[in-house]
Structure 1
Amino acid sequence: MSATGTLLYSAELIQEGGAYKLVVTDRLRHTVQTAYVSRRAVEQLPVFLSKLDSPYQRGIRRR
């Protein structure tokens, strides 16, 4: 998958020992937010991402 346009945010998921750290960078404001997330949340990422890519979001079809 290739992206075009302006990069607004980027995210990294880092495993540190048994912990998972999510690092989100706001490319426009040049800020970084970090949060530790549970293993359960990490396991659910594919489900969450597939919902974002769904043709139906909140009952409205995307064009």
Structure 2
Amino acid sequence: MSATGTPLYSAELIQVGGAYKLVVTDRLRHTVQTANVSMRAVEQLPALLSKLDSLRLRGIRQR
């Protein structure tokens, strides 16, 4: 998958020991926010991303 345009946010999921941390960078305001993420949420990320992609593709076809 490739992206074009101006990046507004970037996100990284970091493993620190046995814990997970989400780091989101606002590229316009140059700020960073972090949040602890449960293992269950990490395991559900592939399904969530797949659903978002499916919604995007369905939206493009309807237009």
1:1-63 mapped onto 2 (5 Å cutoff): 1-55=1-55, 61-63=58-60
What's the CA shift for 1:55?
3.6
User: Could you tell me the TM-score, scaled by structure 1's length?
Assistant: 0.85
Runs of 4+ deviating beyond 3 Å: none
Deviations 1:11-62 (A, max 9, x none): 0000000100000001111111100000000000001101110147xxxx41
Which one has the bigger strand percentage? 1
Q: Distance in 1 between matches of 2:25 and 2:55?
A: 27
Secondary structure, in 3 states, of the residue corresponding to 2:42? helix
Structure 1 regions of 5+ residues with no counterpart? none
Which one has the bigger helix percentage? 2
Secondary structure, in 3 states, of the residue corresponding to 1:2? coil
Q: Percent identity?
A: 83
Structure 2 regions of 5+ residues with no counterpart? none
Secondary structure, in 3 states, of the residue corresponding to 2:28? coil
